Amino acid sequence: MHIEDNPSSSDTRLYVESQHPGSWFDLEESCQSSGGFLLSLGDSKLESSIVSSSQLNSFWIGGNMCPDSPAPADSLWSSGENHINYTNFAAESLLDSRRCCIKVESERDLNSSSSSWKGEECQSVLKGVCQFRVEEYLDAPSSVTTVSESPSSLNVSWGTEGLHWQPDAFSVSACHLKSLSPASLPVAEEDRCVTVNVTEEEGREMMLDGLRSFAEYEVEVEGSLGAFQERKRAVVKARTREYKMLLPEDACCSCCL
């Protein structure tokens, strides 16, 4: 799987290698059944990224120059995108009326890789790469709860909404907002926040220690997933317990004498 954020819009492109090989039309139908298309290539950077992240030496892309091509008349690509400024056909592309579905062929050595486009019979069996345009793909933390188990700590637990892909790592932080005791000393800026990182395997509960007693904190749980750039957050307010000195049961006080 490969991901590219689109800096000019809010969407993100996901590129997923097909699990099984098939003909061009079979894989295009498979991609469309999941809301995507076979890969369309509009620049060399994207092509290099896909080739570098894949172990495939030959794979279907969304180019189709056949008479029965599903691509619009003004486009090479099944997605309908009009990438008029970029092509990468090999000098011997093999394109003809029989070999009119387009594949990428790549060559690799220890230090680099290169690729080019060639025509292939549409019924040939290859793997392919699907592209998907998504606006939301990462689940957000939710149901954040906090318990002050001691005057200097908060136990933080959370869940997720269960709508999208699950984060595989979380950052949990508590930042000091205000002291609730008039006798409290000011908090230095560098000491305002306590942050702990936790992986999904470690669970969705974390103890934050080293906090001020009887104080209000802003607690943030931020989820992330692998190399994805998006982050999702949930924020709540919490209070630590007041510190109380407990006297022994047999202790006497002056007011009782």
The CATH number assigned to the domain holding 127 equals 3.10.100.10
Q: How far is CA 221 from the centre of its chain?
A: 16
pTM to 2 decimals?
0.58
> What's the average model confidence in pLDDT over 222-250?
82
Task: Indicate if 68 and 149 belong to the same structural domain.
Answer: no
Q: How far is CA 48 from the centre of its chain?
A: 21
Domain membership of residue 256 (yes or no) is no
Task: Indicate if 121 and 207 belong to the same structural domain.
Answer: no
> Which of 1-5, 30-34, 195-199 is predicted with the least confidence, judged by mean pLDDT?
1-5
Task: Indicate if 116 and 170 belong to the same structural domain.
Answer: no
CB burial of 45-63 (b: ≥16 within 10 Å; e: otherwise) equals ebbeebbeebebeebbbbb
> What's the average model confidence in pLDDT over 159-184?
91
Task: Indicate if 28 and 127 belong to the same structural domain.
Answer: yes
pLDDT at 8: 41
Task: Indicate if 112 and 53 belong to the same structural domain.
Answer: yes
Q: Give the ranges where the chain is alpha helix by DSSP (H).
A: 24-33, 44-53
Q: Could you report the per-residue pLDDT of 238-248, keeping only the tens digit for each?
A: 999 998 765 55
Q: What is the average pLDDT value for the chain, to the nearest integer?
A: 89
Task: Indicate if 80 and 56 belong to the same structural domain.
Answer: yes
Please count the structural domains in the chain: 2
> What's the average model confidence in pLDDT over 108-116?
83
Task: Indicate if 41 and 74 belong to the same structural domain.
Answer: yes
Domain membership of residue 53 (yes or no) is yes
> Which of 49-58, 95-104, 143-152 is predicted with the least confidence, judged by mean pLDDT?
49-58
Task: Indicate if 130 and 159 belong to the same structural domain.
Answer: no
Domain membership of residue 12 (yes or no) is yes
Domain membership of residue 73 (yes or no) is yes
Task: Indicate if 94 and 171 belong to the same structural domain.
Answer: no
Task: Indicate if 148 and 170 belong to the same structural domain.
Answer: yes
pLDDT at 138: 83
Q: Could you report the per-residue pLDDT of 175-206, keeping only the tens digit for each?
A: 999 999 988 889 999 999 999 999 999 999 99
Domain membership of residue 250 (yes or no) is no
Task: Indicate if 111 and 148 belong to the same structural domain.
Answer: no
Domain membership of residue 245 (yes or no) is no
> What's the average model confidence in pLDDT over 6-21?
74
Distances (CA, A) of 158 to 104, 200, 227: 44, 11, 22
Task: Indicate if 126 and 178 belong to the same structural domain.
Answer: no
> What's the average model confidence in pLDDT over 149-168?
92
Find the domain containing 205 and state its range: 141-239
> What's the average model confidence in pLDDT over 129-134?
87
Domain membership of residue 247 (yes or no) is no
Residue 228, domain CATH: 2.60.40.10
CA distance 148 to 242: 10
Domain membership of residue 244 (yes or no) is no
